[in-house]
Amino acid sequence: MAIKAHTSMAPKKRTATGNSGRSAALFLTPFFAVFAVAMVAPVVYSIWLSFFSEQKSGLGFGASVTKFVGLENYVQVLQSETFVSGLVRLLMYCAMYIPLMVGGAVVFALLLDAGVARAKKLFQLLVFLPHAVPGVIAALIWAYLYTPGISPLVQVLASGGIQLNFLDAHLILPSVVNIAVWEWTGYNVIILFTALQAVPKEILEAARVDGAGEARLSLNIKLPLILPALSVIMLFTIIGTLQLFTEPTIIAKATNSITSTWVPNMWAYDAAFNRHNLNQAAAASIIIALLAAVLSFIVTRFSNKADKS
């Protein structure tokens, strides 16, 4: 009788499992459909577009003909002086922005966790507030603060004998870096502070009993334990940095120091909408995406090695 009961219950379990699988598929289908249309399809179309070129017959007055050119668009993009100079400028931007932003976020998070800030909730809100400002609005605010003649910041510095033109060609890159640091530091402070809250209190108490001070706790115990969160921040920061577009595009309205091809994304935008060369714009976007993939792979491998060690 026990065997019969067990046999009769088995199909019900399989039926329940099958129903749950179909339910999960039903709920996930809209996501995958939107993901395929909004993410996968544009990437595939961009790759396809980058292998073709629109050419006109005769003296350029005839109808355009789509011709397969292979990697020619990629070669032309990489041979473009403006694209290469924009790529070098973007790498310089990364070298300035990433250490400043990530380092500042780590310091602020450790200070918050150590109890240096008395009003922690208020301080978290004030630090996070710049991130709540949309990128376009933030760029407009800083464009106002950078513009000579109307900026109160420039006037205060001038009254103290400091003459600075933040929109000058020599200072425009640090000025854009400052905007990004102002926008994103607070966001990453909250992520790191949350990770610090998950550090086991027993480990910290044991270290304090052994005579470790707050500085040693932060550097030797807390920082190694939040390396996974720090790795995630580094990964998304690198990807986001390669997408630099909004801030310099807005600042360009107030200065001649930023051209329409100042960074690779601006180069691709200019190729698509000003020079009407969608094929080269697609090739440039694929190059940027490949660069992001390579850098993400390097950061991930380095993070995995750090975690294992």
pLDDT tens readout for residues 26-49: 888 888 899 899 888 988 999 999
Same domain, 92 and 141: yes
Structural domain tally of the chain? 2
In a domain, 151, yes or no: yes
The whole-number average pLDDT for the span 78-91 is 94
Per-residue model confidence as pLDDT tens digits over 13-26: 555 555 777 887 88
In a domain, 251, yes or no: yes
Task: Quote the Cα angle for 213-214-219, to 5°.
Answer: 105
Same domain, 201 and 299: yes
DSSP string, the chain: -HHHHHHHHHHHHHHHHHHHHHHHHHHHHHHHHHHIIIIIHHHHHHHHHHTEEEEE-TTTTS-EEEEE-TTHHHHHHHH-HHHHHHHHHHHHHHHHHHHHHHHHHHHHHHHHHTT-SSSHHHHHHHHHHHHHS-HHHHHHHHHHHHSTTT-HHHHHHHHTT----TTSTTTHHHHHHHHHHHHHHHHHHHHHHHHHHTS-HHHHHHHHHTT--HHHIIIIIIHHHTHHHHHHHHHHHHHHHTT--HHHHHHGGG-SSS-TTSSHHHHHHHHHHTS--HHHHHHHHHHHHHHHHHHHHHHHHHHHHHHH-
Say what the pTM is.
0.83
Q: What residues contact residue 283 under an 8 Å CB cut-off, 6+ apart? A: 50, 73, 74, 76, 77
pLDDT at 3: 46
Same domain, 90 and 142: yes
Which pLDDT band holds residue 93 (cuts at 50, 70, 90)? very high
Same domain, 133 and 43: no
Reading the block at residue 185, the tokens are 């530091």
Q: What residues contact residue 278 under an 8 Å CB cut-off, 6+ apart? A: 49, 54, 271, 272
How far apart are the C-alpha atoms of 78 and 74, rounded to whole Å? 6
Percentage of residues in the chain having pLDDT higher than 90: 46
Best CA proximity match to 249, nearest among 277, 274, 280: 274
Reading the block at residue 297, the tokens are 């792979």
The whole-number average pLDDT for the span 261-281 is 94
Highest mean pLDDT among 47-56, 113-122, 176-185: 176-185
Same domain, 30 and 115: no
Contact 139, 246 (CB under 8 A): yes
Is the pLDDT at 11 greater than 70? The verdict is no
Same domain, 19 and 102: no
Best CA proximity match to 139, nearest among 80, 182, 171: 182
How far apart are the C-alpha atoms of 178 and 173, rounded to whole Å? 9
Reading the block at residue 295, the tokens are 């850098």
Q: Other CB atoms closer than 10 Å to residue 126's CB: what's the count?
A: 12
Best CA proximity match to 248, nearest among 131, 189, 169: 169
The whole-number average pLDDT for the span 231-258 is 92
Is the pLDDT at 220 greater than 80? The verdict is yes
Which pLDDT band holds residue 5 (cuts at 50, 70, 90)? very low
Is the pLDDT at 58 greater than 60? The verdict is no
Reading the block at residue 281, the tokens are 């714009």
Contact 233, 105 (CB under 8 A): yes
Same domain, 39 and 111: no
| 303: CATH | 1.10.3720.10
Percentage of residues in the chain having pLDDT higher than 70: 88
pLDDT at 1: 44
- Domain extent at residue 30: 2-47
Best CA proximity match to 169, nearest among 84, 79, 270, 85: 85
In a domain, 276, yes or no: yes
Mean of all residue pLDDT scores within the chain: 86
Residues counted in the chain: 309
Is the pLDDT at 232 greater than 80? The verdict is yes
The whole-number average pLDDT for the span 67-78 is 92
In a domain, 69, yes or no: no
